[in-house]
Amino acid sequence: MIKRGPGESDFTSALKTYAKRIGNYAAVEIPVYASESAFLQTLSRHRSRTVPYLVLLDSRGKQFASEQFAELLGKQRDQGQQKIVFAIGPADGWSDDARRQANLLLSLGTMTLPHELARVVLSEQLYRAFTILSGHPYHTGH
Ligand X SMILES: C[S@@+](CC[C@H](N)C(=O)[O-])C[C@H]1O[C@@H](n2cnc3c(N)ncnc32)[C@H](O)[C@@H]1O
Name the site residues for ligand X (rule: CB under 6 A). Answer: 57-59, 88-89, 91-94, 107-109, 111-115, 118
Distance CA 118, CA 65 (A): 16
Q: Which is nearer to ligand X, 22 or 57 (CB)?
A: 57
User: Is 112 marked as a binding-site residue?
Assistant: yes
Q: Which is nearer to ligand X, 29 or 92 (CB)?
A: 92
Distance CA 58, CA 105 (A): 6
Q: State the minimum distance, in angstroms, from the CB of residue 78 to ligand X.
A: 25
Q: State the minimum distance, in angstroms, from the CB of residue 34 to ligand X.
A: 15
Q: Which is nearer to ligand X, 125 or 131 (CB)?
A: 125
User: Is 93 marked as a binding-site residue?
Assistant: no
Distance CA 27, CA 24 (A): 8
Distance CA 92, CA 94 (A): 7
95, 36 Cβ separation under 8 angstroms? yes
Q: State the minimum distance, in angstroms, from the CB of residue 135 to ligand X.
A: 28
CA-based radius of gyration for the chain: 15
Q: Which is nearer to ligand X, 57 or 132 (CB)?
A: 57
- With b for 16 or more beta-carbon neighbours within 10 A and e for fewer, the 18-27 pattern comes to bbebbeebee
User: Is 80 marked as a binding-site residue?
Assistant: no
Binding residues for S-adenosyl-L-methionine: 57, 89, 108-113
